[in-house]
Structure 1
Amino acid sequence: MKRSDTLAGPPPPTPAELAQIARIAHDEAGLVIGPSKTTLVQSRLARRLRALDLPDYGRYLALVTAPEGQDERRRMISALTTNVSQFFREPHHFALLRDRVLPPLVARARSGGRIRIWSAGCAAGQEAFSIAATLAGLLPDPDRHDIRILATDIDPHVLALARAASYDAADLAPVPPDLRRWFETTDGGAGPGRSLREIVSFRELNLHAPWPMAGRFDVIFCRNVTIYFDVEAQHRLWQRFATALSPEGWLFIGHSERIPAGLPFHSVGVTAYRLSGAAGQTPCR
């Protein structure tokens, strides 16, 4: 944010306004915003107030709590959500994906079976396309098989960037050399090739709302998403992932996240888990 933007912005939210914003963010998306986050909230939401020509957070809250404020509530949650991603972030996950997770799934796809992978909290799409490229390294024609990677996020703005699939050429630096052939570079930037784009679909989804997906997933990536949730919301999400996975499915989470004891997962690597036994038999809700 430019310094001039800060000076021209609305006054900071009062403690009561910050508490109300925090309640809405928690109820809508499970986000935890403490009393010390006044500066963060102001920096994230000041642009929304200026865009709407509102002088203060009291007027803004009147809008987002009104029946006609549903769209602006979504924009508020998007503004408060941090979206950080890069290609092949946490490379050990992709090494495990390549060496242990995908080989039996690829064999199944070659025999006419299906592969379903979910990138939850996908941001601008780099994670989903990294998964797709890892898969293509083992199965050079993934778009000719029954393979789908669902990539979801709560923020429609970053989803628009993900669907465009256009990145700076420098963004491809973390892509392993043997997988770079699946990406294209031009004078204007870089992005995944057609065979990768064909197997990835992007959808808007609030992880705390009902999930419309009926089938189960072989693999779920949900990394550095639950760090913004309270313990109860985290626990509820891990349980829902257990019901969304196929038996013995795989779950990858962020470097600062952990699955607590008592849930039907067992550790198979650094922040990588596998569903235990037949724990995934309960229908997804």
Structure 2
Amino acid sequence: MPRTSPTQRMAAVLRQLARRPSTAFSTDDLRALCAEYRGTSGNRTLRRDLRQLRERGFIETGLTERRHDLPNRMGVRLNLTIKGPHLHLSPEEHAALARARERLRPGPATVEVRAGSARPLDLALAVVRHLEEGVGEADGHELAVSMGVPMPTLHEALAALVANPVVDPAVQMADRPALEGLDLDSDVDDETGTLLGFTVWLEDGKLATLSEATSRPVPTLGSREPSVSPAAGRGLDRFGRFAYTGAETQERLDLTRTALTDPATDPGDRAALQSAERKLEEWHDTLHHSHELTGDPGTDVAP
């Protein structure tokens, strides 16, 4: 089997941690995911991958796992940020934001893309967030242009979420989706194997109407409380990332305020945008206060 890429490995780690979102997995559990995590060099690879995920706020590391069969092992779990349902954006608010983005800032918001081996994962997750916020389907050429990256680079990053060569322990099979509901349709030249283009979509990615959303409330990962948000139960929620990060919240606040001061904004969207702004401001303050209390988790993982 060919060696796995950092994107494939880190996506597989997130998939595995999301199986038990509030429980720590031991580092031994994660070493079993793929050959690249085993042995002396594998320890370094695992530490490097986990560090990238931790620096992005996706996971917590250095947790003491007190399972009776693995006493005092160092554990890893998703860094779940639970947001109260009163702060979840409604379909109407998501739709108004989506229209503002299409007019003022087309394409995915890439504020979370950083340097490092997890950069392709950042790109892929930015696309997923874009799809789950109401776009549903997107063209690879347009995405690549708006994000300023080569189309094959973006395709490779997304492909790691669609069919991952790392064996999924839940079914003991490889090439399983790391992110359920995401799919690609790739256009490849039969003679040269050159990627000509692609379409990416998220199952049920189009925004539900308010009545549809409220008739089928869905709990978010790590919470039993129902949500009327169209992003609940799919997209990044499947990786434990339902709530916006601080940077994502700030970007959407900036977009909302720009739209509210723009005379070209549809009057019918203004009430929804004002409501979204209030929720985003409260969530931003909550995240800021939480960071002041906890600081930056910098605990390393066990070798």
| TM, length-normalised to structure 1 | 0.28
Q: Which protein, 1 or 2, shows the higher relative CO under an 8 Å CA cutoff with sep ≥ 6? A: 2
Instruction: Flag the structure with higher strand content.
Output: 1
| TM, length-normalised to structure 2 | 0.27
